[in-house]
Amino acid sequence: METIHYKTISEDLYYEEMANGLKVYLLPKEGFSKTYGLFTTDFGSIDTTFVPLGESEMIKVPDGIAHFLEHKMFDMADGDATEKFARLGASTNAFTSSTRTAYLFNTTSNEKECVELLLDFVQELYLTPESVEKEKGIIGQEIKMYDDDPDWRCYFGSIQNLYQKHTVSVDIAGTVETVNSTDKETLEKCYNTFYHPSNMMLFVVGNIVPENMMSIIRNNQEKKSFTKQPEIVKEKIIEPKETKTKEDVLKMDVVMSKIYLSIKVNDILTEPKALLKRELAMTLLQDLLFSRSASLYEKWTKEGIINSSFGSNFIQEKDYCFIQLGGDTPNPDVLKEKMYELIEALPQYEFDIEEFERSKKKNVGSLISVFNSPENIASMFSRYYFSGNMFFDIIDVLEEVQYEDVLACRDLFNKENATTFIVLPK
């Protein structure tokens, strides 16, 4: 077991790689009663074409299967994992994103049993044709819930505008049709391929003694056997540089209209440090433009075209990258025009160095605040981990970001690759 001390935030992180390839990170938090464990696999909704473990041909699985698998993971041969956690006084949950699936527990007692249960229920798949069938109605309702949510429709619609080929434009849960076409065998293939320990990471934070916790995890893993896994072969998606569509409008039974402008970024970085630095520089640029301290935000508020729901977003993953900005507005056409004018004028935009320093200070403070919450630490840690970065380094990297790095991010706002998605009342 290795120990890494982080001076800036005064935290000690413990690390060990298990013989089967599972990476384990532990963070004791003194004074906390809570312990939070997050077990993440590098498998998300975008991973729908790959070579299954032990096979040689690429297969295409139904959209939404990573999410379907997440739902079924809680079934165990001798009962239900949710109930077992409840009997330990703990709670559990899981979530699926475009790129990852994560399982968690939250407890204030029986920490050792909880960690073992988390490992055990995720490292064993128990399906029957009946249990797979039964889940379809439940997932169908989850999909319909999102169908009625205008924020989600606008957010996701603006991503779908951008991609012609990439599976990031497929809804995380799939559709009612793809869910209905999902079967036990395909779920098992996905499981065997993507839930190998070498493709996963466990993070436990809270009221723990690292030495004891690590030895429990080590013993648990030594008892299990896994087929040795070669590197997973996923389909390489060839995405054209152009966006799929320029604009789209959706009419819903709503009162408020909203707009998202999304920009496809074709300059995709792979080197972890460069990725992190660009993300942080972009955060600063977005603050300088769109935070409440920004002149532009104030101007647009006074013009009545935005309100506090306005925001922006920057996503970078292994093979896609995009920017989103927008929110509720009484006048989407005017806001659309203003956002396009901004993009056009952006290359000439300059900021005071004082504004830049202020934004940096603000972000340092926000990052320190993350360390108040075990849940937030775990979720940030695994988010950065799978792109090759350590969250605990982030404040130091932020300090390195220069004003020039921020200015360089202006170029990512490319008008040619911008699209809009508008939700209007019927």
Partner 1 sequence: MEKNYNLNGYVLHLLPTPKFKTVSLSLRLQSPLSKETTTLRTLLTFVLSAATQELPSSKLISQFLDDQYGARLSANISTKGKSHIINVYSSFVNERFLPTKASLFVDQLKLINDLFKHPYASEGAFNEEIVAIKKKELKERLQAQKDDKFGYSVDKLFEYMGEGHTLGISSTGYEDEIDQISAKDLYEYFLKCINDDVKHLYIVGDIDESIVDICKEHISFPVVNESYETAYIFNSERKDVLEVIEKQDLSQSKLNMGYTTHASFMSEDHYAFTLFNAIYGGFSQSKLFQVVREQNSLCYYVSSSYDAFNGIMLVNAGIESKDYDKAKQLITEELEKIQNGVIDPSDVEMAKGQLCNSLRKAKDDPGSIIALAYNKDITGHEDAYENYLEKLMSVSLEDIQKVAQGVKLDTIYFLTGKEFDGNNTL
User: H or E stretch including 14?
Assistant: strand 11-17
Dihedral pair phi/psi, residue 249, rounded to 5°? -130, 135
- Nearest distance from C-beta of residue 219 to partner 1, angstroms: 25
By the rule CB under 8 A, 365 interacts with partner 1:
yes
Chain centroid, CA 303 distance in Å: 34
User: Is 317 among the catalytic positions?
Assistant: no
- Nearest distance from C-beta of residue 367 to partner 1, angstroms: 9
By the rule CB under 8 A, 298 interacts with partner 1:
yes
Nearest to 420 by CA among 160, 183, 235, 214: 160
| Measured CA distances, 182 to 64, 203, 420 (Å) | 9, 31, 33
Longest distance between any two alpha carbons in the chain, whole Å: 65
Q: Which is nearer to partner 1, 365 or 388 (CB)?
A: 365
By the rule CB under 8 A, 136 interacts with partner 1:
yes
By the rule CB under 8 A, 134 interacts with partner 1:
yes
The correct pick among 14, 371, 392, 413 for binding partner 1 (CB under 8 A) is 371
Which one of 50-58, 60-68, 105-113, 378-386 is the stretch in contact with partner 1 (CB under 8 A)? 105-113
In the window 315-334, what residues touch partner 1 (CB under 8 A)? 328, 330
Which one of 28-36, 222-230, 239-247, 312-320 is the stretch in contact with partner 1 (CB under 8 A)? 28-36
User: H or E stretch including 272?
Assistant: helix 272-290
By the rule CB under 8 A, 252 interacts with partner 1:
yes
Dihedral pair phi/psi, residue 345, rounded to 5°? -85, -15
Q: Which is nearer to partner 1, 49 or 301 (CB)?
A: 301
Which one of 84-92, 184-192, 193-201, 263-271 is the stretch in contact with partner 1 (CB under 8 A)? 84-92
By the rule CB under 8 A, 363 interacts with partner 1:
yes
Coil, strand or helix at 245: coil
By the rule CB under 8 A, 270 interacts with partner 1:
no
Q: Which is nearer to partner 1, 7 or 223 (CB)?
A: 7
Could you give the residue ranges of the DSSP H alpha helices within 108-225? 111-122, 129-147, 150-160, 176-180, 184-194, 210-222
Coil, strand or helix at 232: coil
By the rule CB under 8 A, 184 interacts with partner 1:
no
Coil, strand or helix at 383: helix
Q: Count of CB atoms within 10 A of residue 396's CB?
A: 12
Could you give the residue ranges of the DSSP H alpha helices within 291-393? 295-302, 332-345, 353-370, 374-385
The correct pick among 27, 94, 117, 139 for binding partner 1 (CB under 8 A) is 139
User: H or E stretch including 103?
Assistant: strand 101-107
> Rule CB under 8 A: which residues touch partner 1?
8-10, 29-34, 82-83, 86-91, 106-109, 134-139, 141-142, 144-145, 147-150, 252-256, 291-295, 297-298, 301-302, 304, 307-309, 328, 330, 358-359, 361-366, 368-369, 371-374, 426
Active site residues: 70
